[in-house]
């Protein structure tokens, strides 16, 4: 850590545990070493750039895009060998280069077209370029199993053919000798063994002189002697020399391939830089995803706004244990820059203080943090802490002496860009004397315009915070019914230490607690009871507020459902009205037609009746045409089009296929009802449609 984030602060806030966790998430040694040396940036622009990089990769991960798998090995040793004129890469080195080249090409392809959405990550690969030359060169030598191909050179192919031939001869001779000696009963039950990669016979030691060959060893008990058959001695020697020839030839091939790839050294160096940078960022994102971290705002001012923030280590620990973690929200700015948190022991004061400090350091290191993305962090030059019991046996310093030295350091460096984290402020000495000195320290740091989170049990510190314009009291809530801490921060008033309640929880006899109360100054006891009562009332009010908000949300939801239901019923009512209107009209028309029919039956003739029917039909037709014209006018279509089409149709049917004659079955051109022609007079025909007789122009009829 830099001096403005000193080592003690790092230890107090357990920043080292976060760094170690991040380093373990790295694949390469280069990224791991860099992570272990992680420290806050000196410039806010650098920190924001690091946050942007992590945020973009987090976005890619959360959206489930087909991002290349960042699995590769460090190229440092290969780059070193390529930098030496006579250096030769080994098989593993070529495999590492092959993987690195493929992965970099995949990254280049992924970011092509995504520059606008991922501008910062896209910039990382600009120093490299897409090429398959390295891949083709390595694949010309290595097969899919990452072994050297026989075809890598003509000489290697010849050598390997000889190796295979010699191996067959060795196996053939060995099988022949073994069958012979088995029949003679010279071999042990195991028959054979392998010594120094050579196949040898397991001969009973009592028969070893009857078996010609080279003795290469004996069993631990001495019962068996391992003998290389005489028939294979020359072949085995030849086999060893061929293997040596193979190794030498492969070395020549690797030398040629290394010299070919050496021309790509600048590109390979960019591979190393790019992939290690992605490994470094990916480690941040992997750990960030485990703690549901986000990218908050980091601004040049000194305000802090935490929304649903968690202590990273506590959150992960509780997740592993299946426990729920309570988030904290608070706000600090130049008008409210000193927060004094009071409340019961083990109520969460220290965790709240550590959460603020650790998240602030993580953000200034460019790390994602477990807080709502709308959270905001300022830019501080000092984040300094005094947390826990830091007595030093080596320097013979008591806790209080250590704290005084620490306070002296704070007073030397504190300014308006300092964030101070003081736990159990003023403890370690006589309560009255230590409290008085702590009050002066508090006021001095306040006058330096420093920012700070302070936890305390001292009433005078709480009172001082209430009187100072840019300071505020806060408390950790306590459940009065269960007598258990709630681990929730409430800003606005000091909290009681709940000394006697906590003692009761821990099984202290009630009589002892009541006796202790009698030893207290009545004013102090009354004040503590008052604070406890106020805190209880505030908790109840907050619960009522929460209940009120829930009721309001439920009422709003109910209103939305009611409005939707009302719209649904209104739509149904409108449809029903239309249906009723249509049914009424059909009923009215039906009654009218029924009256016509009844009239026809009574009168026995239909001349006047047919005129009434015609008039009725003409009126209904005119209504229908008018509706059609209105509908078509709304669609901006000329009303005259249907008339033109009607005329065209008339022209088409002016010469019917069959002539209209008396007795012919006909129908109207635009109708479907059929009738019989009973009389023809010029251009008019009398047609009987069912029980109705009417006169129609011949041109309006067609023979069925």
Q: What is the DSSP letter of 285?
A: H
Contact 651, 669 (CB under 8 A): no
Q: What share of the chain is helix, strand, coil (3-state, %, to 5)?
A: 55, 15, 25
pLDDT computed for residue 396 by the predictor: 42
- Model confidence at 466, pLDDT cuts 50, 70, 90, reads confident
Rounded average pLDDT over 135-139: 96
DSSP 131: -
- Which 3-state string (H, E, C) describes 511-557? HHHHHHHHCCCHHHHHHHHHHHHHHHHHHHHHHHHHHHHHHHHHHHH
- 41 closest CA partner among 50, 33, 32: 50
Alpha-carbon distance of 455 to 421, in angstroms, equals 9
Rounded alpha-carbon distances, angstroms, from residue 377 to 296, 309, 413, 491, 632: 7, 12, 21, 19, 64
Q: What is the pLDDT of residues 192-248, one digit of tens each?
A: 888 888 889 999 998 889 999 989 888 888 888 999 999 999 999 999 999 999 999
- Domain 640-704, classified CATH 1.10.3720.10, yes or no: no
Indicate if the pLDDT at residue 545 is higher than 80.
Answer: no
pLDDT tens-digit series, residues 618-645: 776 676 777 677 666 655 554 444 443 4
CATH of domain 151-246: 1.10.1420
Mean pLDDT of 517-537: 58
pLDDT exceeds 80 at position 182: yes
Enter the tokens of residue 358. 């650790």
DSSP 194-241: EETTEEEEEEEGGGGGGS-EEEEEE-SSSSEEEEEEHHHHHHHHHHHH
Give me 555's structure tokens.
């009422």
Cβ–Cβ < 8 Å for 439, 305: no
- The SS3 of residue 584 is helix
Angle (nearest 5°) at CA 381 between 437 and 423: 35
Spatial distance between the Cα atoms of 330 and 471, rounded to a whole number of angstroms: 13
C-beta separation of 211 from 202 below 8 A: no
pLDDT band at 349 (very low <50, low <70, confident <90, very high): confident
Which of 45-49, 139-143, 453-457 shows the lowest mean pLDDT across its residues?
A: 453-457
Determine the CATH number of domain 13-131+264-290. 1.10.1420.10
- Residue located via tokens 């209107």: 581
pLDDT value, residue 644: 38
pLDDT in tens, 153-177: 999 999 999 999 999 999 999 999 9
Q: Please give the C-alpha separations between residue 262 and each of 88, 255, 268, 276, in angstroms, as whole numbers.
A: 10, 10, 9, 21
pTM for the whole structure: 0.69
Please state the rounded mean pLDDT for residues 603-610: 58
Token pair 């397991």 in the structure block, residue:
202
The model's confidence at residue 616, banded by pLDDT at 50, 70 and 90, is: low
Rounded CA-CA distance 167/239 in Å is: 7
pLDDT, tens digit, 9 for 90 and up, residues 63-98: 888 899 998 999 999 999 999 988 999 999 999 999
Cα–Cα distance for residue pair 255/262, rounded to 1 Å:
10
- In this structure, are residues 179 and 132 in contact, taking their beta carbons and an 8 Å threshold? no
How far is residue 198's CA from residue 196's CA, in Å, rounded to a whole number?
A: 5
Task: Determine how β-strand 692-697 pairs with β-strand 684-689.
Answer: antiparallel
User: Residue 167 — φ and ψ, nearest 5°?
Assistant: -65, -40
Our separate counts of H helices and E strands in the chain read 21, 19
Domain ranges, ordered by start, for the chain: 13-131+264-290, 151-246, 304-499, 640-704
CATH superfamily of 304-499: P-loop containing nucleotide triphosphate hydrolases (3.40.50.300)
Do 13-131+264-290 and 151-246 come out as alike in CATH topology? yes
């Amino acid at each position: 850590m830099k001096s403005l984030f000193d080592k003690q602060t790092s230890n107090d806030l357990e920043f080292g545990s976060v760094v170690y966790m991040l380093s373990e998430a790295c694949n390469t040694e280069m990224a791991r070493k860099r992570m272990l040396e992680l420290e806050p940036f000196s410039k806010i622009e650098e920190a924001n750039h690091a946050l942007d990089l992590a945020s973009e990769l987090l976005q890619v991960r959360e959206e489930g895009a087909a991002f290349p798998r960042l699995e590769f090995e460090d190229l440092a040793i290969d780059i070193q060998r390529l930098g030496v004129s006579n250096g030769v890469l080994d098989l593993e080195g070529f495999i590492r280069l092959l993987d690195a080249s493929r992965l970099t090409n995949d990254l280049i392809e992924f970011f092509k077209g995504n520059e606008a959405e991922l501008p910062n990550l896209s910039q990382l690969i600009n120093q490299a370029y897409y090429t398959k030359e390295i891949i083709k060169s390595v694949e010309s030598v290595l097969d899919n199993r990452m072994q050297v191909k026989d075809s890598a050179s003509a000489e290697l192919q010849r050598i390997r053919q000889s190796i295979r031939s010699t191996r067959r001869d060795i196996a053939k001779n060995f099988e022949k000798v073994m069958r012979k000696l088995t029949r003679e009963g010279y071999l042990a039950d195991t028959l054979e063994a392998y010594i120094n990669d050579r196949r040898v016979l397991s001969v009973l030691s009592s028969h070893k002189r009857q078996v010609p060959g080279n003795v290469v060893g004996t069993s631990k008990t001495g019962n068996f002697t391992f003998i290389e058959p005489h028939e294979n001695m020359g072949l085995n020697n030849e086999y060893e020399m061929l293997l040596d020839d193979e190794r030498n030839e492969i070395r020549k091939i690797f030398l040629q391939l290394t010299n070919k790839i050496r021309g790509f050294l600048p590109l390979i160096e960019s591979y190393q830089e790019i992939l290690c940078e992605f490994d470094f960022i990916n480690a941040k994102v992997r750990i960030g995803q485990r703690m549901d971290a986000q990218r908050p705002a980091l601004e040049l001012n000194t305000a802090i706004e935490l929304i649903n923030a968690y202590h990273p280590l506590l959150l992960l620990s509780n997740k592993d244990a299946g426990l729920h973690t309570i988030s904290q929200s608070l706000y600090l700015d130049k008008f409210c820059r000193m927060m004094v948190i009071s409340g019961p022991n083990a109520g969460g004061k220290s965790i709240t203080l550590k959460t603020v400090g650790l998240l602030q350091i993580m953000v200034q290191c460019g790390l994602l943090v477990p807080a709502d993305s709308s959270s905001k962090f300022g830019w501080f030059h000092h984040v300094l802490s005094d947390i826990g019991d830091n007595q030093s046996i080596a320097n013979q310093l008591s806790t209080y002496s250590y704290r005084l030295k620490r306070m002296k350091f704070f007073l030397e460096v504190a300014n308006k860009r300092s964030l101070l984290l003081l736990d159990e402020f003023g403890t370690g000495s006589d309560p009255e004397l230590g409290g008085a000195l702590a009050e002066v320290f508090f006021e001095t740091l306040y006058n330096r315009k420093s920012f700070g989170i302070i936890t305390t049990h001292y009433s005078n510190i709480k009172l001082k915070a209430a009187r100072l314009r840019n300071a505020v009291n806060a408390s950790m809530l306590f459940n009065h019914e269960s007598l258990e801490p709630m681990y929730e921060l409430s800003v606005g008033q000091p909290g009681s230490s709940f000394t006697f309640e906590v003692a009761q929880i821990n099984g202290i006899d009630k009589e002892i607690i009541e006796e202790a109360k009698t030893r207290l100054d009545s004013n102090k006891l009354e004040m503590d009871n008052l604070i406890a009562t106020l805190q209880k009332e505030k908790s109840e009010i907050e619960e009522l507020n929460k209940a009120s908000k829930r009721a309001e949300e439920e009422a709003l939801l109910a209103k939305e459902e009611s409005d939707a239901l009302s719209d649904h019923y209104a739509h149904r009512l409108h449809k029903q009205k239309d249906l009723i209107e249509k049914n009424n009209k059909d009923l009215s028309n039906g009654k009218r037609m029924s009256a016509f029919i009844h009239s026809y039956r009574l009168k026995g003739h239909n001349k006047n009746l047919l005129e009434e029917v015609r008039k009725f039909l003409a009126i209904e037709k005119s209504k229908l045409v008018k509706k059609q014209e209105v509908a078509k006018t709304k669609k901006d279509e000329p009303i005259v089009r249907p008339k033109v089409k009607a005329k065209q149709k008339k022209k088409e049917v002016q010469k019917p296929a069959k002539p209209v004659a008396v007795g012919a079955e006909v129908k109207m051109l635009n109708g479907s009802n059929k009738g019989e022609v009973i009389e023809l007079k010029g251009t008019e025909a009398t047609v009987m449609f069912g029980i109705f007789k009417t006169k129609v122009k011949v041109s309006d009829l067609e023979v069925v």
